[in-house]
């Protein structure tokens, strides 16, 4: 016996139509490269997204054709997020922090038919131009000239976008967008989302125990729109009818704080490094900034040191710890305390908030070790695996066999984690960063977070180095705070208060800064190379 309900597909047009009908007056603010603010509304975004879709159809865009975007975070990029899939195409966001060779690889591998590029990123386009061959390139300018060989994005909308527009007859399984992972090893790999996965992901993101987005919110996605769809925020915020604020290329702490203050931002999201900079600025000028009370800041991409959560609390700013991956659209877990945690002492509450939290509805997680599924005891580490209706089932046109999916259909994240009795996830490491000493595992992330709580330490990364006796031993690479000169012995004693003796790093190296990946994570492969780790060629497991 089947249910007798309407067979309505979960597709993106509903989001845009809803936004146009209900939220026409809601503002969208973007910072331009010249630092001026561009202001528009959902009504205009609605009209222009449909014009873009119409124009792409007029150009002959076929169902499933990829359109690459090489853009910062702003309202035109938001139009592309909607207009391209509404025309039946696939929006492929290009990571402008890749080196040109990788970027060209990604454009070619995805077979991007058209490109839409910010004028300020034309130098990057020029660097790949002889390696790629899109049929047309459209340039979004704020009034500037369009270079030879390219077409104007505004002209495209103006000249081709007029007249009636009808949505194509989309299935919820049709591709909607595409992101490449910026892996630290191997070639970037493409993940292809469907309308269904995107709609479900967006709705669940808005839930009170996930991001909690409502029409009362003003959302500032600091996380780039070319990085896992800015964690899905442009779609979720449009569904909820939030005010949207985009920072353009200005991602320094002062520019972001200005936007947060002036636009009364209630919700933001980004990687820890962004928040570290903001925290430093707040501490340096505690009276300079007036932010919205209890502004929520989702922090993901790497683990958040507990210390950072505590320090932001002093400014009445609420850090929400999340875990996700491009392969998860990207949302996996989010840390919210339960009702009965209200009775815990502050230290226990902070310890919980430093975990990555509970799986979002529709997501399932488990940890697997040598003996099968690991117990949920908060101690036993295992490889984190995930399953759910927005988890990738394959990479796009893979160039090599991957072992990223288990035989029973779970995605192998490459993270090592524990899950506690209440279901809270804690990432202890990347599989490849885990330190195996004397047959036991040592978590580099735990050591890093503990080190970063030391008053003299600005940042710390811990890597494995080969050891003839123990197989591997931890080595800590430390950036001191300006004006401090911590010593290895001090730091070792500091760690000894919390960890067993055999966890303590044998070596401490002090450096001026840590190398980072394009998404702001510590680039441990480079550290391993620098500090003579023979495992430098070790690949992602």
Residues 388-417 that bind a second copy (CB under 8 A): 388-396, 409, 411
For a second copy, give the closer residue by CB, 108 or 518. Answer: 108
**Of the candidates 108, 22, 114, the residue with the CA atom closest to the CA atom of residue 62:** 114
Residues 194-233 that bind a second copy (CB under 8 A): 194-197, 200, 203-204, 206-209, 212-218
In the chain the first and final C-alpha atoms are separated, in Å, by: 44
Residues 68-107 that bind a second copy (CB under 8 A): 90
SS3 188: coil
For a second copy, give the closer residue by CB, 128 or 386. Answer: 386
A 10 A CB-CB count for 188 gives 20
- Using CA atoms in the order 449, 455, 460, 465, what is the torsion angle rounded to 10 degrees? -90
Q: Report which secondary-structure segment, H or E, holds 336.
A: none
Q: Which of 41, 281, 441, 509 is catalytic?
A: 441
Tokens of 461: 């990364």
Q: How far is the CB of 365 from a second copy (least distance, A)?
A: 10
Q: Which of 154, 327, 448, 472 is catalytic?
A: 327
Residues 133-152 that bind a second copy (CB under 8 A): none
Tokens of 312: 């932001």
CA angle 168, 174, 177 (to 5 degrees): 100
List residues bridging with 407 in a β-sheet: none
Q: Exposed (0-12), middle (13-18) or buried (19+): which is 382, by Cβ within 10 Å?
A: buried
Q: Which stretch binds a second copy (CB under 8 A): 18-26, 40-48, 134-142, 506-514?
A: 18-26
Cα–chain center distance at 33: 22
Q: Which residue has the tokens 């279901």?
A: 423
Q: How far is the CB of 160 from a second copy (least distance, A)?
A: 23
For a second copy, give the closer residue by CB, 33 or 389. Answer: 389
Q: How far is the CB of 83 from a second copy (least distance, A)?
A: 17
Q: Which stretch binds a second copy (CB under 8 A): 48-56, 91-99, 167-175, 498-506?
A: 167-175
Q: In sequence order, which residues have a C-beta less than 8 Å from that of residue 114 and are 6 or more positions away? A: 56, 59, 61, 65, 67, 68, 134, 135, 136, 137, 138
Binding mask 432-451 for a second copy (x = CB under 8 A): --------------------
Q: Report which secondary-structure segment, H or E, holds 299.
A: strand 295-299
Cα(486)–Cα(479) distance, rounded to whole angstroms?
9
Q: Which residue has the tokens 């394959």?
A: 394
Q: Which of 281, 289, 406, 436 is catalytic?
A: 436
Q: How far is the CB of 106 from a second copy (least distance, A)?
A: 16
Q: Which residue has the tokens 């997680």?
A: 365
For a second copy, give the closer residue by CB, 305 or 388. Answer: 388
Q: How far is the CB of 110 from a second copy (least distance, A)?
A: 11
For a second copy, give the closer residue by CB, 175 or 477. Answer: 175
Q: How far is the CB of 143 from a second copy (least distance, A)?
A: 30
Read off the DSSP letter of residue 535: G
- Cβ contact 347:354 at 8 Å: no
Strands 90-93 and 66-70: parallel
Residues 259-298 that bind a second copy (CB under 8 A): none
> Is 524 tagged catalytic?
no
For a second copy, give the closer residue by CB, 17 or 281. Answer: 17
> Is 181 tagged catalytic?
yes
Q: Which residue has the tokens 């131009």?
A: 129
Q: How far is the CB of 48 from a second copy (least distance, A)?
A: 20
Residues 226-265 that bind a second copy (CB under 8 A): 239-241, 243
User: Which of 26, 59, 78, 442 forms a contact with a second copy (CB under 8 A)?
Assistant: 26
User: Which of 193, 226, 323, 494 forms a contact with a second copy (CB under 8 A)?
Assistant: 193
Q: Which stretch binds a second copy (CB under 8 A): 94-102, 179-187, 188-196, 468-476?
A: 188-196
Q: Report which secondary-structure segment, H or E, holds 153.
A: helix 153-160
Q: Which stretch binds a second copy (CB under 8 A): 50-58, 331-339, 431-439, 520-528?
A: 331-339
Q: State residue 372 phi and psi, 5-degree precision.
A: 105, -155
Q: How far is the CB of 439 from a second copy (least distance, A)?
A: 30
Residues 349-388 that bind a second copy (CB under 8 A): 358-359, 361-362, 364, 376, 387-388
Cα(519)–Cα(523) distance, rounded to whole angstroms?
10
Q: How far is the CB of 445 from a second copy (least distance, A)?
A: 23
Q: How far is the CB of 420 from a second copy (least distance, A)?
A: 11
Cα(286)–Cα(288) distance, rounded to whole angstroms?
6
> Is 441 tagged catalytic?
yes
For a second copy, give the closer residue by CB, 26 or 279. Answer: 26
Q: Which of 69, 93, 141, 181 is catalytic?
A: 181
Q: Which residues of 308-318 are buried (b: 16+ CB within 10 A; e: fewer)?
A: bbbbbeebebb
> Is 136 tagged catalytic?
no
User: Which of 39, 290, 338, 536 forms a contact with a second copy (CB under 8 A)?
Assistant: 338
For a second copy, give the closer residue by CB, 34 or 166. Answer: 166
Q: Which residue has the tokens 């081709």?
A: 160
Binding mask 44-63 for a second copy (x = CB under 8 A): -------------------x
For a second copy, give the closer residue by CB, 54 or 195. Answer: 195
CA angle 476, 479, 483 (to 5 degrees): 135
Q: Which residues are catalytic?
A: 181, 327, 436, 441
């Amino acid at each position: 016996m089947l249910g007798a309900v309407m067979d309505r597909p979960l597709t993106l047009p509903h989001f845009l139509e809803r936004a146009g009908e209900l939220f026409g007056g809601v503002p969208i603010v973007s910072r331009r490269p010249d630092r001026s603010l561009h202001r528009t509304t959902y009504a205009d975004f609605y009209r222009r997204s449909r014009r873009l879709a119409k124009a792409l159809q007029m150009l002959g865009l076929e169902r499933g054709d990829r359109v690459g975007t090489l853009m910062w975070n702003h309202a035109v990029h938001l139009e592309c997020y909607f207009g391209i899939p509404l025309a039946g195409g696939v929006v492929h966001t290009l990571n402008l922090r890749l080196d040109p060779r990788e970027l060209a690889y990604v454009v070619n591998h995805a077979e991007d038919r058209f490109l839409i590029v910010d004028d300020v990123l034309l130098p990057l386009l020029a660097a790949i131009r002889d390696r790629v061959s899109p049929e047309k390139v459209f340039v979004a300018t704020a009034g500037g000239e369009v270079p030879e060989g390219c077409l104007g994005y505004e002209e495209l909308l103006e000249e081709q976008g007029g007249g009636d527009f009808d949505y194509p007859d989309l299935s919820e399984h049709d591709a909607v967008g595409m992101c490449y992972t910026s892996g630290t090893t191997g070639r970037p790999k493409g993940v292809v989302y469907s309308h269904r996965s995107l709609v479900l992901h967006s709705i669940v993101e808005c839930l009170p125990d996930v991001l909690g987005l409502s029409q009362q919110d003003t959302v500032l996605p600091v996380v780039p729109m070319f990085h896992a769809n800015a964690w899905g925020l442009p779609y979720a915020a449009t569904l909820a009818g939030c005010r949207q604020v985009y920072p353009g290329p200005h991602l320094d702490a002062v520019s972001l704080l200005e936007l947060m203050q002036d636009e009364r931002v209630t919700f933001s999201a980004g990687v820890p490094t962004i928040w570290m900079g903001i925290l430093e600025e707040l501490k340096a000028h505690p009276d300079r900034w007036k932010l919205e009370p209890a502004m929520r800041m989702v922090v993901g991409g790497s683990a958040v040191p507990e210390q950072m959560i505590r320090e932001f609390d002093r400014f009445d700013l609420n850090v929400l710890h999340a875990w996700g991956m491009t392969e998860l659209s990207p949302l996996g877990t989010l840390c919210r305390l339960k009702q009965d945690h209200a009775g815990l002492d502050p230290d226990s509450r902070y310890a919980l908030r430093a975990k990555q939290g509970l799986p979002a509805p529709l997501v399932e997680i488990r940890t697997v070790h040598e003996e099968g599924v690991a117990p949920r005891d908060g101690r036993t580490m295992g490889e984190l695996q995930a399953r759910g209706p927005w988890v990738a089932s394959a990479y796009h046109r893979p160039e090599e066999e991957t072992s990223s999916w288990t035989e029973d259909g779970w995605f192998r994240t490459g993270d090592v984690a524990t899950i506690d009795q209440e279901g809270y996830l804690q990432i202890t490491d990347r599989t490849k960063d885990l330190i195996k000493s004397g047959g036991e595992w040592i978590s580099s992330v735990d050591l890093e977070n503990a080190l970063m709580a030391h008053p003299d330490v600005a940042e710390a990364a811990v890597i494995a180095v080969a050891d003839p006796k123990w197989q591997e031993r931890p080595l800590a690479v430390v950036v001191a705070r300006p004006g401090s000169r911590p010593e290895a012995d001090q730091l070792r004693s500091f760690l000894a208060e919390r960890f067993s003796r055999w966890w303590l790093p044998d070596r401490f190296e002090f450096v001026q800064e840590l190398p980072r990946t394009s998404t702001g994570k510590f680039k441990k492969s480079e550290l391993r190379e620098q500090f003579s780790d023979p495992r430098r060629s070790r690949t992602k497991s």
